[in-house]
C-alpha cells in the first residue's frame, strides 16, 4: 500500500470510528440497524455516519476526477459532524491538489421541517420521538464542525462554508465549477434544492452521489432525483453502492 492509501484508510477508520468496533450492518433488519446506528453514530464518537463503502466511493470519484482532469470543486450538501467533507479535504491534501476547494453546505441547525401535505412520510419522521429526542434532527453547529476539521489538521482556506438552508445558499454560492457533488440532505426538498442549485455547474465527467436514493420508508429523496433526471433528460446510469446510496457520472 502507498502512503496515500494508508493515510486514507486510517482516516476512514477514525472518521467512522471503526478501528476497534464494527460498523452497523446495513443489511440487518430495520429495527436492528436503527439500534446499531443510534449507538454507533448518533451517541458515539463517529464524525461521519457513512458506511465505509460510501467513503470508498467518495475516494474513487475524487481520484477519478483528479486523474482525468475533470475541472471543479467538491461539495457535500448536508454534513452533520463534517466527516465526509473532512475526508474530501484529506484526499485533496494527500494527493497534493491545491487548486480545488471543498464546500461544506449545511444549515448547522438540522433538517428543515417538511410540508406535511406534500411529504407526509417525511413529516412523520421529522416529528417522531427518535428524530427529535435521539437524533436531534442531525443538528451540529458550524463551530463544532470547524473544530473537527481542525482536529485532523485539515481546516484551511481550501475549505469553504455555506451556512443556511440550501434553497437560500446554493443558487448564489460563489462556486464556478463542481467535479463531485454529494447530496446528503435526506429529504425531497433538500435533494431537489441541491440539484436545481448546483447541477448546471457540474462538469461533464463529474459525479453526483445521492446518499438516500434507496431509502423509501421516511423520505421522498428518490422521487426528487427521478423527477429532476426526467425533466433534464438525464439518462446516465444510476450505479448502486449499497442498499441506500447511488451515484451517476455526468455524461453530457
Ligand X SMILES: C[S@@+](CC[C@H](N)C(=O)[O-])C[C@H]1O[C@@H](n2cnc3c(N)ncnc32)[C@H](O)[C@@H]1O
Of 212, 221, 207, 206, nearest in space to 245 by CA: 212
d(CA 41, CA 237) in angstroms, rounded, equals 31
Of 131, 134, 133, 161, nearest in space to 145 by CA: 161
Contact status: 14 vs ligand X (CB under 6 A): no
137 secondary structure, DSSP code: G
Residue 103 CB, nearest approach to ligand X (Å)? 13
- Which parts of 43-62 interact with ligand X (CB under 6 A)? 48-50
Cell of 33: 440497524
Decide whether 109 or 205 has the Cβ nearer to ligand X. Answer: 109
Part in contact with ligand X (CB under 6 A); list of ranges 3-11, 62-70, 149-157, 179-187? 179-187
Residue 193 CB, nearest approach to ligand X (Å)? 6
Residue 159 bridge partners (DSSP): 102
Tell me the H-state helices in the chain.
Answer: 3-15, 30-37, 52-68, 83-95, 120-127, 129, 142-151, 166-169, 188-198, 221-231
d(CA 229, CA 236) in angstroms, rounded, equals 9
Strand order in the sheet with 102-106: 159-163, 102-106, 73-77, 178-183, 202-210, 246-249, 239-240
Query: Closest-CB residue for ligand X?
Result: 78
Positive or negative, the CA dihedral 63, 65, 68, 69 is: negative
Among 119, 138, 220, 247, binds ligand X (CB under 6 A): 138
Contact status: 23 vs ligand X (CB under 6 A): no
Among 57, 148, 190, 219, binds ligand X (CB under 6 A): 190
Part in contact with ligand X (CB under 6 A); list of ranges 30-38, 72-80, 94-102, 195-203? 72-80
Decide whether 21 or 235 has the Cβ nearer to ligand X. Answer: 21
Residue 233 CB, nearest approach to ligand X (Å)? 26
Decide whether 23 or 193 has the Cβ nearer to ligand X. Answer: 193
Contact status: 220 vs ligand X (CB under 6 A): no
Decide whether 79 or 91 has the Cβ nearer to ligand X. Answer: 79
CA distances from 228 to 192, 222, 245, 248 (A): 7, 10, 17, 13
Decide whether 119 or 166 has the Cβ nearer to ligand X. Answer: 166
Number of residues that bind ligand X (CB under 6 A): 23
Which residues form the interface with ligand X (CB under 6 A)?
48-50, 76, 78-80, 83-84, 106-107, 110-112, 138-139, 165-166, 184-186, 190, 193
Amino acid at each position: 500500500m502507498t502512503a496515500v492509501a494508508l493515510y486514507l484508510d486510517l482516516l476512514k477508520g477514525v472518521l467512522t470510528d471503526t478501528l476497534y468496533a464494527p460498523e452497523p450492518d446495513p443489511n440487518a433488519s430495520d429495527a436492528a440497524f436503527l439500534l446499531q446506528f443510534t449507538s454507533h453514530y448518533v451517541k458515539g464518537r463517529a464524525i461521519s455516519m457513512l458506511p465505509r463503502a460510501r467513503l470508498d466511493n467518495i475516494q474513487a470519484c475524487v481520484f477519478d476526477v483528479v486523474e482525468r482532469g475533470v475541472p471543479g470543486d467538491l461539495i457535500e450538501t448536508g454534513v452533520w459532524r463534517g466527516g465526509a467533507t473532512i475526508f474530501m479535504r484529506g484526499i485533496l491534501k494527500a494527493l497534493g491538489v491545491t487548486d480545488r476547494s471543498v464546500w461544506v453546505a449545511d444549515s448547522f441547525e438540522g433538517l428543515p421541517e417538511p410540508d406535511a401535505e406534500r411529504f407526509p412520510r417525511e413529516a412523520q419522521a421529522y416529528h417522531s420521538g427518535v428524530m427529535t429526542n435521539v437524533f436531534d434532527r442531525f443538528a451540529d453547529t458550524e463551530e463544532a464542525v470547524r473544530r473537527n476539521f481542525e482536529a485532523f489538521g485539515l481546516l484551511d482556506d481550501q475549505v469553504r462554508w455555506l451556512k443556511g438552508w440550501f434553497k437560500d445558499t446554493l443558487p448564489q454560492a460563489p462556486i464556478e465549477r463542481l467535479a463531485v457533488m454529494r447530496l446528503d440532505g435526506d429529504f425531497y426538498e433538500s435533494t431537489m434544492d441541491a440539484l436545481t442549485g448546483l447541477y448546471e455547474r457540474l462538469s461533464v465527467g463529474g459525479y453526483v452521489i445521492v446518499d438516500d436514493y434507496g431509502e423509501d420508508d421516511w423520505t421522498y429523496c428518490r422521487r426528487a432525483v427521478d423527477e429532476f433526471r426526467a425533466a433534464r433528460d438525464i439518462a446516465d446510469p444510476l450505479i448502486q453502492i449499497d442498499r441506500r446510496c447511488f451515484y451517476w457520472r455526468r455524461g453530457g
